[in-house]
Amino acid sequence: MARSAKTLLKRITVNPERMGGKPSLRDWRISVEQILTWLANGASREQILDEYPKLKPADIDACLLYAALVVDHAKVPAKELDVA
């Protein structure tokens, strides 16, 4: 079942008061960068989900989508993110 981009992007939050404003997952102290780094270093989805038990597979999908939009130089509308 494919998730819409809008639904996935709702999982990414940017809070200037948390983690220096880095994009993170659901306002937790788990950054998009951390997940992408794990994947880039060869970690499997299962390993990431084991390391961070509160994450869901959709959180990893959201990180990948966010990265794709950034690389594509697309603007990720602030209203799509939970900006505090």
Burial class (CB in 10 A: 0-12, 13-18, 19+), 44: exposed
| Domain 5-83: assigned CATH number | 1.10.10.10
Over residues 3-49, the pLDDT tens digits come to 688 899 999 999 999 889 999 999 899 999 999 999 999 999 999 99
Burial class (CB in 10 A: 0-12, 13-18, 19+), 43: middle
* Pairing relationship of beta strands 24-25 and 82-83 according to DSSP bridges: unpaired
Domain segments of the chain as ranges: 5-83
Where is pLDDT greater, at 84 or 50? Answer: 50
Q: What is the CA radius of gyration of the chain?
A: 12
